């Protein structure tokens, strides 16, 4: 193979997605300490699946149009750092692509631009990650020539594999955990899938994983409705129907086409601006037995209207229902579910910002993996100002929102938020899921791990001892309030021991306890 057309690019992207999906659990498992995030594979899959959905909406095989769909879909589906970086790698390739077809020499230039775009999207690039993969490819491809794509991708796959295996030597955290980088390994599977397609394996099955979630269905309400009428018709057939011909007609006059034949009944669904034409066409095949036509513009007008109508709005990512309720009581307008194992996507955050109907929107990512996505969302708006408050922990958001005043000027509010965050101490308590090492410390399975921000401050099998050690290190005797958010897996006897510890050793602290209902962390705490 010496050139890739728009039609074959669709297959390559889908084959890469299929191969990534096959290894999603493996990639999720690579991030093993301090707790298994379990999200890198899912985030990368979300990115690729959304790109595939956008590709499916491109009816032509024009290379430029296909790349446009890949870029837009990948960004809309991007979740977490890995998803955003992957979307930027694809964007870099797309922007450097020729307009008619791609040669091996063109692909080398596309890799170079992918490196440039991806690195420019990350404020502090870290080597030993998926960024390193595109960097190494770019550097080593500069002095190479390939006649065919088979030769090029055999070389790419082997080079990426070698780079992935070397990531523990570049990043200490990987070396301590004894794993390779999850994002880099995911990129390996993407290139491997591309190679499989180029070598003739072009059968793709994504049906089992392309079902829309509740959140995705809700998000559809905020998208532009170009075809006004949701049209559903059932016909009792009296002659043979050329299904492909009928599908082609429906796709010409609308979208969201579903066509089912069962026995002598035809059932179709289409979004179109011409429902009368649908009825005229379908009546050729038999007797209409049921019709439903809804004007979606009127039904959802109150939802899709996103023009700002107030000055200040707040969006926050929350890991648990209880914490969400607390944040809402403090003034947060829109909550986006998310946490360690499920980072919200670009589209999730963008829709939430729109829902505030505010001219100035404060966006709290509340997770380091969501920060890059949040910044991408902030850059996507021209009709309002989105201010990203760079919180890595939801406790910081709680502390900030205590200072919230919707009548204050945005600049004053930001200063209040930043001051509150700087003075609070976010504490996270979890349990080690396996034996491991953290720096010079040996961690045993079942130990309590207590983190102050990102630092492991204490660990051991006694929660009381672990907490006491941490509170003393953080000068808790000089603080006033300890707020505890109870996770899904907290234990009542443990909570009673915590209450006893505070009463006896830290009587200066007012202990406040709330149902946080967050997963993974039985206790999230806020020391102020």
| Beta strands 441-443 and 436-438, pairing class | antiparallel
Average pLDDT score, the chain: 86
Rg over alpha carbons for the chain, rounded to the nearest Å, is 26
d(CA 398, CA 427): 13
How would residue 312 be classed by pLDDT, with cut points 50, 70 and 90? Answer: very high
Please answer whether residues 340 and 391 qualify as being in contact, where contact means their C-beta atoms are separated by less than 8 angstroms.
no
pLDDT the model gives residue 265: 67
Q: Which of 4-18, 174-188, 234-248 has the highest mean pLDDT?
A: 4-18
Instruction: Decide if pLDDT at 492 tops 90.
Output: yes
Q: What is the DSSP track for 6-29?
A: HHHHHHHHHHHHHHHHHTHHHHHH
Q: What is the pTM of this model?
A: 0.63
Residue of 37, 64, 68, 70 whose CA lies nearest to 52: 70
Matching residue, tokens 């991708």: 153
Q: Are 193 and 13 in contact (CB under 8 A)?
A: no
- 229-301 domain in CATH 3.30.70.260? yes
> For 222-281, what is the HEC assignment?
CCCCCCCEEEEEEEEECCCCCHHHHHHHHHHHEEEEEEEEECCEEEEEEEECCHHHHHHH
Least reliable range by pLDDT among 56-65, 114-123, 134-143, 349-358: 114-123
From the list 366, 391, 362, 386, the residue with the least C-alpha distance to 376 is 386
Of the pLDDT bands very low, low, confident and very high (cuts 50, 70, 90), residue 507 is very high
Q: pLDDT at position 304, please? A: 42
Q: What is the pLDDT of residues 221-247, one digit of tens each?
A: 333 456 778 787 878 888 777 777 887
- The pLDDT confidence band at residue 35, using thresholds 50, 70 and 90, is very low
CB contact at 8 A, 308 and 359? yes
Give tens-digit pLDDT for 375-392: 999 999 988 999 999 999
What CATH class is the domain 305-423? Answer: alpha beta
Top-level class of domain 6-212: mainly alpha
pLDDT tens digits for 450-472? 999 989 999 999 999 999 999 99
pLDDT interval class at 173 (50, 70, 90): confident
Has residue 268 got a pLDDT over 90? no
Average pLDDT over residues 45-50: 92
Q: In percent, how much of the chain has pLDDT > 90?
A: 58
Cα(470)–Cα(476) distance, integer angstroms: 9
Report DSSP state, residue 448: E
- 22 and 326 Cβ atoms separated by less than 8 Å: no
If we measure between CA atoms, which residue out of 142, 121, 143, 141 comes closest to residue 131?
Answer: 121
Taking residues 418-423, what's their average pLDDT? 96
Output the CA torsion sign for 371, 376, 379, 385. negative
- Separation between Cα atoms, residue 1 and residue 147, nearest integer Å: 9
- Cα(517)–Cα(147) distance, rounded to whole angstroms? 57
Residue 303: is its pLDDT beyond 70? no
């Amino acid at each position: 193979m010496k050139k890739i057309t728009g039609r074959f690019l669709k297959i390559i992207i889908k084959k890469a997605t299929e191969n990534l999906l096959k290894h999603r659990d493996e990639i999720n498992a690579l991030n093993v300490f301090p707790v298994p995030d379990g999200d890198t594979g899912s985030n990368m899959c979300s990115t690729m699946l959304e790109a595939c959905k956008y590709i499916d909406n491109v009816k032509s095989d024009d290379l430029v149009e296909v790349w446009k769909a890949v870029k837009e879909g990948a960004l809309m589906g991007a979740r977490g750092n890995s998803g955003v970086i992957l979307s930027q790698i694809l964007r870099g390739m797309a922007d450097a692509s020729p307009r008619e077809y791609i040669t091996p020499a063109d692909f080398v230039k596309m890799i170079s631009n992918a490196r440039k775009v991806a690195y420019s999207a990350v404020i502090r690039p870290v080597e030993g990650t998926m960024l390193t993969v595109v960097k190494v490819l770019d550097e080593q491809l500069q002095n190479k020539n390939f006649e065919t794509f088979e030769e090029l991708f055999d070389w790419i796959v082997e080079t990426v594999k070698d780079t992935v295996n070397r990531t523990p030597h570049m990043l200490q955290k990987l070396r301590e955990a004894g794993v390779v980088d999850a994002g880099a390994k995911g990129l390996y599977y993407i290139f491997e899938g591309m190679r499989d397609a180029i070598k003739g394996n072009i059968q793709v099955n994504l049906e089992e994983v392309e079902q829309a979630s509740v959140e995705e269905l809700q998000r559809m309400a905020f998208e532009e409705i170009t075809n006004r009428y949701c049209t559903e018709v059932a016909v009792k057939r009296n002659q043979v129907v050329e299904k492909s011909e009928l599908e082609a007609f429906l796709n010409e006059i609308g979208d969201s086409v579903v066509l089912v034949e069962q026995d002598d009944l035809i059932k179709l669904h289409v979004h179109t601006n011409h429902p009368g034409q649908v009825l005229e066409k379908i009546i050729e095949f038999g007797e209409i037995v049921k019709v439903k036509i809804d004007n979606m513009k009127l039904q959802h007008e109150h939802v899709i209207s996103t023009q700002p109508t107030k000055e200040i709005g707040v969006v926050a990512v929350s890991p648990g229902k209880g914490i969400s309720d607390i944040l809402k009581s403090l003034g947060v307008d829109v909550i986006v579910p998310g946490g360690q194992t499920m980072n919200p996507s670009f589209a999730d955050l963008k829709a939430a910002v729109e829902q505030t109907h505010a001219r100035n929107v404060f966006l709290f990512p509340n997770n380091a993996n969501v920060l890059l996505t949040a910044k991408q969302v902030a850059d996507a708006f021209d009709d309002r100002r989105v201010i990203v408050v760079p919180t890595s922990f939801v406790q910081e958001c709680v502390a900030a929102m205590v200072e919230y005043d919707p009548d204050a000027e945005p600049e004053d509010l930001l200063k209040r938020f930043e001051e509150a965050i700087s003075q609070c101490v976010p504490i996270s308590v979890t349990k080690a899921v396996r034996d491991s090492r953290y720096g010079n410390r040996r961690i045993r399975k079942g130990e309590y791990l207590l983190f102050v921000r990102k630092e492991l401050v204490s660990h051991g099998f006694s929660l009381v001892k672990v907490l006491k050690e941490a509170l003393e290190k953080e000068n808790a005797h000089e603080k006033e309030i300890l707020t505890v958010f109870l996770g899904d897996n907290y234990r009542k006897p443990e909570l009673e021991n915590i209450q006893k510890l505070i009463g006896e050793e830290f009587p200066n602290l007012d202990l406040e306890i709330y149902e946080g209902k967050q997963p993974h962390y039985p206790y999230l705490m806020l020391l102020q």
